[in-house]
Amino acid sequence: MSFLLSVVKPPRGNLSISLITVTICAAAFLGLYYTEKATSLSAVSVFKFAACSRKSALPRFPAEAAMEERKGVREMDDRFEFDAEGCSVIKGKWVFNSLIEPLYSDRTCPYLEKQVTCTKNGRPDSDYLRWEWEQDDCFLPKFSPKGVLKKLRGKRLMFIGDSIQRGQWMSFVCTVESVIADNEKSMVKYNRSSHFVFTAKEYNATIEYYWAPFLVESNTDRKIIADPTQRIVRVDSISRHADSWKSADILVFNSYVWWMSGLTINSLWGSFPNAEEGAQELERTSAYTIALKTWANWIDTSIDPNRTRVFFTTSSPTHMWSGDWNRKNGLNCYNETRPVAKVKRVWGGDKMMEVAANVVRKMRVPVTFINVTGLSELRVDAHTSVYGETRGKLLTAKQKADPLRNADCIHWCLPGVPDTWNRILYAYL
């Protein structure tokens, strides 16, 4: 598998290195070279010195060690600053921890949509809530609700993209809202519910979501068009959306799932009195390339990198066919209760993310990739499956009995995998 490095263009600044880290890296310098994938999603390999990780400086315990020892190591590691250069978030494994509890539940957070409230909707198992992403060479810092609110004081954090991005936004909001008094928080919807603004009044901070599944404009931005063949994407137009993004301090984008509805995309550019007559079918990656260049041009001409940080969440995998993880008697994600060790790469996701990497590489403004693809691919157990909703209604018993047609193996239960995505985002913040 080829993956993006988590940071394609790091923000400018001096890296502070502790004396301990320098000593360990000096020792590692003498004997450790290794080959790893290049940062651009290409298959090119480059030689690099072994990264001096935070985890390598800590004691290592055997797998059978007591949970308290493992917990102690994590707490000890929290004293260290997360090092985006030396820590690879994509190399690791899911570890079951029966002692952990999510920072929120689908019964306590009032901002979750029915589409993702799996436990509340009747999902009988709960082990999917207790898997932690453990990296090979370091530890992610724990998500601290109060810590993140302090970092966001006086700022606007905005998530922009499709319903997968909305899930990440809901996860973020639910994680922090429990530490805010009821009279110190609010949620407001704008633009026919395409723009949601959660406000933490004490911190003068907002955590926002903006619906733009293609990032650029389309005829399905306001009213969703279910038939992909009837959708038209204006690949060179973005200002109607971007006007709402201008004053944000942190922008987190994604755009992937809606591009995967077919091999071609009905695309429009320039001005036409009748959009349907002017639209042309473009090959998917060609349309995606033009759209991302439109997005990149807006970022480069409208964003001050000294004021605003820009992130891009990589593709969220789907699990539509159990053969991809060698479950020969299965259907899809339905009835999966554990992560798997390996999944075949599906949907042409690498090709689309190569497009994103190539566009970002040429940008003036630094963009940090939140690489969620590889770790999420293993979580075949964490989708909403038959415990979500379709067309605004929970599945009936009859629909649940037909998971081949009705299981949702695209969206994620909350709490769930997007909580880990936000741990990564929090680490970069």
Question: Active-site positions?
Answer: 163, 408, 411
C-beta separation of 350 from 2 below 8 A:
yes
Residue 119 one-letter amino acid: T
CA atoms within 13 A on the CB side of 185: 17
Residue 317 one-letter amino acid: P
Length of the chain: 429
Tell me the C-alpha distance between 426 and 78, whole Å.
13
C-beta separation of 324 from 344 below 8 A:
yes
Location of structure tokens 């929290």: 78
* Among 73, 69, 33, CA closest to 57: 73
Tell me the C-alpha distance between 194 and 189, whole Å.
7
Residue 174 one-letter amino acid: C
Tell me the C-alpha distance between 177 and 186, whole Å.
10
Instruction: List, as one string, the DSSP characters of 221-290.
Output: SSS--S-GGG--EETT--HHHHTTTTT-SEEEE---GGGGSSSEEEEE-S--SSHHHH-EEEEHHHHHHH
